[in-house]
Structure 1
Amino acid sequence: MQASGDLGNGTYRNPILAGDYADPSVVRVGDDYYMTHSSFKFAPGLLIWHSKDLVNWEPIAKALTDYAGDVWAPDLTFYKDRYYIYAPINEEIMVLTAKHPHGPWSDPQKVGVQGIDPGHVADSNGNRYLFFSDGYMVELAEDGMSAVGTPRKVYDGWPFPKEWVVEGNFMESPKLTFHNGYFYLTVAQGGTSGPSTSHMVASARSKEPWGPYEHSPHNPIIRTQSRNERWCSKGHGSLVDTPDGGWWIVYHAYEKGYYTLGRQTLLEPLEWTEDGWFRVPLHCKTDEPIPKPPGDAVPHGMTYGEFQEASGWLGYPWSWYQTNYDIQYTLQKQAITIQAAPEAAPLVFMPEGHSYAAQVEIELSEESAAQFLLFYNGSTYSGFGISQEGLYGVIRGWETPSKPYPHRRVIVRLENNEHEVVFYYSADGSEWNKFEHSFETSGWHHNTLGGFLALRIALRAKGSGEVTFKNFIYQKL
């Protein structure tokens, strides 16, 4: 099972979701919380999480069933008995809707706005607005499905000190919260990657959604102050209140030394000052135990060893990378059989630990080949391969010459010990052989390779015929 930040004594320790769960957007409806994240080039995407206490989260649906493009920084909201996800897909904002977060969700529909990082808000008269990158706002139609009018710039961002070490003067992730007569605008500034001190959360407020906005005297609300901290590039905050009147901020950050895991999801409490601003309590430390919000704990996380959910769909831990064709596959609880293709899309799984092992059993048909990889993107991946000619290595996309292997079945195990990766293989699971190619992956992250992605485990079926992967195991070391 996926690791939980719940310490079992009324406190939790960050992260609340370990692994690449970037750009969190959270909404409360009654006693229930729902959250989603960027899914980038992976599909099914827009995984929906459910919680009762903001610390323990269970996956309940994937809103985007088919590959539609590169999905960045969605906004999950609830308005008049309907759920909406405003999601930039290839930098064009689209909207999906559902009556319940379990779905079914509609296909994405164009809103009519080019941009990223949307944030929805409605005023007391039912007028709806969509904010997006660089401080722009546009009015929405009554049903929230399309933009009306022309986008206008309503906020220039908080002028942080010029001597701060940041990636750039970027303003992203405008999220709106209406509270005590004010529209509170929460934004991300400084750049989501780059130096460890780059990203931050800033706040401003206005009586009207179009401004003028007044900067919070407590800015930055969230920021990594030193490269020596555990959590780097903290930012992209989403506010949420609890049924008892408490307030919290969910955001993402990289872990120092483990940028390969992507931007993980963190949670901190907020307090309101007498003059109507929010801030993180001065005594709160990101990397120390924090008292939990109220609420019961749902069963946390995913079951990692299963390819198929009870619904019959592909298991929540799994997704395809950039699927530009209709992939043919059949599922069982512990197995997936994939129709091979010459340029096969990999099936990927997100690891969460500093050190971990993963194992899978592979069975080939006569014309197929298979790979078990550590995968960043379509050009950066390394690992183990098997074909009719034998076993071969994959080194940053290059395939080594094969060496004879007498079987079409093999069990493969990888061990990633703080970025050093060793593969082992066995014909029967009892006698193991170390594979001759090993790898070092500490630089496989956005700061060096771009794309805002993270290191994943991947299964790939190549050639023609079929490949069966089964009995997948993932465990922390």
Structure 2
Amino acid sequence: MMKLNFFFLIIAVLGETMSAQVTGRWGDQGGGTFRNPVIAADYSDPDPLRVGDDYYLVASTFESYPGVTILHSKDLVNWTTIGAALTDLVAVDSAYSVKRMERYNGGAYAPTISYHRNKFYIYVNLYTDGFYMATADNPKGPWKSQFVKDKYGRPLRVTRWSDPCPFWDDDGKAYLVSSHPGREYWYSYIFQMSEDGTTLLDADSAHIDKKNFLYQYPDGGTVISPYHSSEGNRIFKRNGYYYLQHIEFTNKGLGEGTYVFRSRNLYGTLSDGTPGRPGQPGEYEIFAVEKVKSRDHLRIPGQGGYVDTPDGRWFWIGQFTRDYACGRPPHLLPVTWVNDWPVIGVDVKNREGQMAWQLPKPIMGFSASLPQGSDEFTEMKLHPQWMWNHVPDNKKWSLTERPGYLRLYASPTADGKGFFKAGNTINQRYMRSDSTSVIVKMEIKGMSNGQKAGLAHFNGGKSYAFIAVVKQGGEFRLEFEINGQSVVGEVFPCGQNCIYLRTSMGVEDKATFQYSWDRVTFYNLGGNYPIASANFRGDMIGLFTYNDLAESGFIDVDWFHYRVTNK
């Protein structure tokens, strides 16, 4: 009965979904429908997983800490943040530390999450560092992470590999697909893997660390197909078929688009009808999910993953690249199987689906929730919705020194190079809506001369703006700064020891900073700031403090209120 109800709901709203455009409304709309994107925030390269009646989603985090955010849902629409997998990034490389902060446009790219024999697995390529994995008995953690090893037991500390996806076959044998982007030989490879998922059995780290080179079995896995610019790898099995999916970004291979390869044999079928094998792959049938002239002409969401429901329905969660400040948010669409090919979208004709902006929720009965939100800082542990810009110095922040407050200590920026080198900047993702606002209450009595502290917008290392309190010569004043250019604001009234800072945004992706002495009357400082994405990151909203004169001073943040209108 559930399948029939879902089908008729699609028909009922189809006229609206096909004509609707992207607006500031998203997620759960009430009344049993949702609107794409399901989350209007930078959860790029999404990969979903179902375990029983629970759904999980992981996304890229690049330079942010902890790495690889994990979300949970009961209906594929309403998601909450429950944790993150990578907490040892400084041990991987000191470039993630506050002393260096050198992983912009690097870090954790395109993770995947799997479940095998009562254990959760996350695989991710640390683009500048190598093949990495994490395991846990509970997706909330704790997670144990490590480098994947090559066939000689050496950690795969190799650069410029991306988009790994594991697969355990019915016989228990394990495999991993991944890509090596580059000027040439930008192909996807399939590796044999140990059953515990820790070792690639046909990979030699010295061999696959070479650049612009066609890797050879048994040291470089098996090239799936000689098509250029393969990323977004997915591998799974259904109805006796093995499916290998990837995206192409150039016209040197099959052309820009998303492609599914399938065969009754994992390594394809040889010309004599026998199965292909490692080092000698056969041919696959090929289906173009979508073929486009450029990424700007995508009809349906691209890089993402498939997920099914307990009653047998399938869905796709993928990202759109639309050059919005929210980055590349996840979108949810139904999947129709046509002759055992997955067709993403609605109004399926000739094995081609269409985009839909508003649809019935896949699973009814669950209330709206958001992955980002307000915080009163009353808990002893930081809520998992928070991230840090690179790995923080844990001696420089506290939730316990003054209960009910987040205390942030100031330090000099790395190499004295300004905001993007300021350690211990704590932030959440911007949710692009018709109306979005963040207001914080900040106490400044602990500030020292030379210290700046405030509320900021920033992306992946390219552009930023903030409203801040600056202490100079024993005097407090306000300042607005955008990409190194500052506007000086008014001096604090005598005896004023706290301030309310606010940023307000609309769907036009412009932010306005304001301040208030009493939370009643707010004053603008600086003009409209055009928030934007950069280096694969959407906009983030964060709290920061630094002091380039001395390692001195602190602020106390009483609360952080995050408000959105998404319907």
Q: Give the Å deviation of 1:402.
A: 6.8
Amino acid at match of 1:279: V
Deviations 1:129-162 (A, max 9, x none): 110012111111121112112233432377xxxx
Of the three residues 5, 19, 29, the one matched with 2:51 is: 29
1:74 corresponds in structure 2 to 111
1:181 to 2:250 alignment:
no
2:306 corresponds in structure 1 to 239
1:328 to 2:396 alignment:
yes
Distance 2:522 2:308 in 1: 52
Of the three residues 195, 202, 207, the one matched with 2:264 is: 207
Deviations 1:399-447 (A, max 9, x none): 4567533444221112234233322212222233221x224325x323x
Of the three residues 127, 133, 143, the one matched with 1:90 is: 127
2:540 corresponds in structure 1 to 456
1:373 to 2:456 alignment:
yes
Alignment of 1:122-201 (within 5 A): 122-133=168-179, 134-149=187-202, 150-156=219-225, 170-190=229-249, 200-201=257-258
Q: When the two structures are aligned, how many residues end up with a matched partner? A: 447
On the 8 A contact 1:222/1:235 being kept in 2, the answer is: no
Q: Give the Å deviation of 1:308.
A: 4.6
Of the three residues 348, 351, 358, the one matched with 2:430 is: 351
On the 8 A contact 2:460/2:533 being kept in 1, the answer is: no
1:386 corresponds in structure 2 to 469
Structure 2, unaligned runs of 5 or more? 1-23, 91-95, 97-106, 151-155, 180-186, 203-218, 269-281, 348-352, 414-421
Amino acid at match of 1:209: L
Q: Give the Å deviation of 1:200.
A: 3.8
Distance 1:156 1:25 in 2: 23
Q: 1:240 and 1:57, CA in 2 relative to 1: closer, same or farther beyond 3 A?
A: same
Of the three residues 378, 381, 385, the one matched with 1:317 is: 385
Amino acid at match of 1:240: V
1:161 corresponds in structure 2 to none
1:163 corresponds in structure 2 to none
1:286 corresponds in structure 2 to 355
Distance 1:383 1:467 in 2: 16
Structure 1, unaligned runs of 5 or more? 159-168, 192-197
Amino acid at match of 2:125: P
Q: 1:93 and 1:32, CA in 2 relative to 1: closer, same or farther beyond 3 A?
A: same
Distance 2:327 2:313 in 1: 29
1:59 to 2:128 alignment:
no
Distance 1:307 1:200 in 2: 45
Q: What value does the CA root-mean-square deviation take over the aligned residues?
A: 2.9
> Which of 77-86 and 371-380 deviates more?
371-380
Of the three residues 407, 417, 425, the one matched with 2:515 is: 425
Distance 1:445 1:199 in 2: 23
Of the three residues 323, 326, 329, the one matched with 1:261 is: 326
Q: 1:286 and 1:238, CA in 2 relative to 1: closer, same or farther beyond 3 A?
A: same
Q: Give the Å deviation of 1:66.
A: 4.7
Distance 1:347 1:58 in 2: 19
Alignment of 1:100-139 (within 5 A): 100-112=138-150, 113=156, 114=158, 115-133=161-179, 134-139=187-192
Amino acid at match of 2:229: F
On the 8 A contact 2:377/2:558 being kept in 1, the answer is: no
On the 8 A contact 2:240/2:264 being kept in 1, the answer is: yes
Give % identity: 27
Deviations 1:172-209 (A, max 9, x none): 02111111111111212227xxxxxx974321112233
Q: Give the Å deviation of 1:455.
A: 1.2
Of the three residues 319, 342, 349, the one matched with 2:412 is: 342
Q: 1:152 and 1:424, CA in 2 relative to 1: closer, same or farther beyond 3 A?
A: same
Distance 1:401 1:16 in 2: 40
Amino acid at match of 1:304: G
Distance 2:395 2:365 in 1: 40
Amino acid at match of 2:163: D
Deviations 1:347-366 (A, max 9, x none): 11211124422211222214
2:418 corresponds in structure 1 to none
Q: Give the Å deviation of 1:9.
A: 3.4
Indicate the SS of the match to 1:313.
coil
TM-score, structure 2 normalization: 0.72
Amino acid at match of 2:132: M
Q: 1:234 and 1:302, CA in 2 relative to 1: closer, same or farther beyond 3 A?
A: closer
Q: 1:402 and 1:327, CA in 2 relative to 1: closer, same or farther beyond 3 A?
A: farther
On the 8 A contact 2:299/2:355 being kept in 1, the answer is: no
On the 8 A contact 1:200/1:234 being kept in 2, the answer is: no
Distance 2:483 2:242 in 1: 48
Indicate the SS of the match to 2:81.
strand
Q: 1:366 and 1:30, CA in 2 relative to 1: closer, same or farther beyond 3 A?
A: closer
> Which of 204-213 and 452-461 deviates more?
204-213
Which protein has the bigger strand share?
A: 1
Q: 1:272 and 1:420, CA in 2 relative to 1: closer, same or farther beyond 3 A?
A: closer
On the 8 A contact 2:306/2:314 being kept in 1, the answer is: yes
1:396 corresponds in structure 2 to 483
2:18 corresponds in structure 1 to none
